[in-house]
Amino acid sequence: MKKTKGQVEAEIGNALIQFEKDYMGRGPQETKTFIIEDMILIRLKGVLTAAEQQLAKNPEGMNLIKMVRSNLLEQGRDLLTDVIEKITGLKVVTLHTDISTKTGERMIVFTLNKNLELLFRTQEAKLISKKGT
């Protein structure tokens, strides 16, 4: 039996937590993952370290945090893309990210080469029709 949308969202969330721990030094306090058509939206809350929270108190520090976090993500981009492709079975087309130094929240958006949400709906419809026969 194939995985459900919720199972895939949870697996992606767990993979992002591990990535944050490995590449950023600590994991987020909370992670939410949403599959929306051909996009995967991940919202990570509480990603800033105590040192980054201190840096974020002035504009230069805010810029430094964004620059360092962006650079670290870029270095791990291939690994992250591979993980998403393995979990979903689809090709990652693009990856976009930003971090708020005010809220300590990071957003990551992957776009895929196919509508993953539609694939789940199709899979569910097939299961329902099999049960009905």
Looking up residue 90, the CATH number of its domain turns out to be: 3.30.980
User: Using CA atoms, how far apart are residues 108 and 60, in angstroms rounded to an integer?
Assistant: 23
How many domains would you assign to the chain? 1
Burial class (CB in 10 A: 0-12, 13-18, 19+), 10: middle
User: Using CA atoms, how far apart are residues 61 and 65, in angstroms rounded to an integer?
Assistant: 6
Domain that holds residue 109: 5-132
What is the per-residue pLDDT across 110-122, written as a single tens digit (0 to 9) for each? Answer: 999 999 999 988 8
Q: pLDDT confidence of 125, banded at 50, 70, 90?
A: low
Token couple for 130: 């099999």
What is the per-residue pLDDT across 39-91, written as a single tens digit (0 to 9) for each? Answer: 999 999 999 988 999 999 999 999 999 999 888 888 889 999 999 999 999 99
- pTM of the predicted model as reported, rounded to 2 decimal places: 0.87
User: Using CA atoms, how far apart are residues 89 and 54, in angstroms rounded to an integer?
Assistant: 40
Mean pLDDT of 89-106: 94
pLDDT the model gives residue 22: 85
